[in-house]
């Protein structure tokens, strides 16, 4: 028997030791890869919500930005927003008023008293009103309630539309003011040149 036959077993032992260590190193690498892939799974999961939130946020900023530019008409749902007009409140003061001497104090006091009586009688007759049937009162209150609900539901959309339209109105006003200022300056220059001649 030769020694080479015996030595192959010692070489096998050394090879098995190194392969054992390398297998453990490979197992550690695979475990680290498993942990990293597990972390990447959860990162990808949370990035779904992060990107969805950022999409909505930047979409909102985009609408605001487009609303302030000159091409904001593409977002306009209706034309110009309707301006609501309200009648100014008219009150007759009961305090003393300064009347010029040529009209006389008694005539002015009599006219003021007559006007105050007229307005108070109008107010009293309007408050008395016509008798309303309970059915009509019920239906009008029901209609008012549904109008209130519709106003609440449409309020955010109206605010967005008014925001865009308000930007367009401001731009138009600025352009009109610039045109007016240019025309005034031109008129002053023309007047000045005309006076010099």
Point out the least confidently predicted range of 3-17, 72-86, 107-121, 178-192.
72-86
pLDDT exceeds 60 at position 197: yes
* Residues 154, 155, 158: CA angle, nearest 5 degrees: 85
pLDDT digits (tens, 9 = 90+) for 134-153: 888 888 888 888 888 888 87
Q: Please answer whether residues 165 and 81 qualify as being in contact, where contact means their C-beta atoms are separated by less than 8 angstroms.
A: yes
DSSP 99: -
Once rounded to an integer, what is the mean pLDDT over residues 6-32? 92
pLDDT exceeds 60 at position 104: no
pLDDT exceeds 60 at position 4: yes
pLDDT digits (tens, 9 = 90+) for 21-71: 999 999 999 999 999 999 999 999 999 999 999 999 999 988 888 888 755
Which of the given ranges, 32-36, 121-125, 126-130, 150-154, has the highest pLDDT on average? 32-36
Predicted local distance difference test score (pLDDT) of residue 90: 58
Q: Please answer whether residues 67 and 152 qualify as being in contact, where contact means their C-beta atoms are separated by less than 8 angstroms.
A: no
- Phi/psi zone of residue 90: left (φ > 0), alpha (ψ -120 to 50 degrees), beta? beta
Which of the given ranges, 67-71, 84-88, 131-135, has the highest pLDDT on average? 131-135
**What residue spans of the chain are helical by DSSP H?**
3-68, 105-128, 134-196
Q: Please answer whether residues 74 and 167 qualify as being in contact, where contact means their C-beta atoms are separated by less than 8 angstroms.
A: no
pTM of the model: 0.29
* Residues 28, 29, 35: CA angle, nearest 5 degrees: 90
């Amino acid at each position: 028997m030769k020694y080479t036959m015996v030595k192959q077993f010692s070489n096998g032992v050394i090879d098995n030791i190194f392969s054992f260590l390398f297998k453990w190193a490979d197992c550690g690498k695979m475990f680290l890869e498993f942990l990293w892939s597990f972390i990447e799974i959860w990162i990808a999961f949370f990035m779904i919500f992060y990107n969805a939130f950022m999409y909505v946020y930047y979409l909102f900023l985009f609408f605001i930005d487009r609303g302030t530019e000159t091409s904001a008409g593409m977002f306009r749902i209706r034309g110009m927003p309707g301006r609501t007009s309200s009648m100014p409140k008219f009150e007759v003061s009961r305090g003393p008023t300064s009347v010029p001497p040529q009209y006389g104090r008694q005539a002015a006091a009599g006219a003021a008293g007559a006007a105050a009586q007229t307005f108070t009688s109008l107010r009293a007759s309007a408050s008395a009103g016509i008798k309303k049937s309970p059915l009509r009162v019920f239906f009008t209150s029901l209609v008012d309630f549904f109008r209130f609900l519709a106003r609440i539901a449409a309020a955010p959309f109206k605010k967005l539309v008014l925001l865009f339209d308000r930007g367009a109105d401001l731009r138009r006003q600025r352009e009109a003011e610039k045109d007016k200022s240019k025309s005034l300056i031109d008129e002053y220059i023309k007047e000045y040149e005309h006076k010099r001649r």
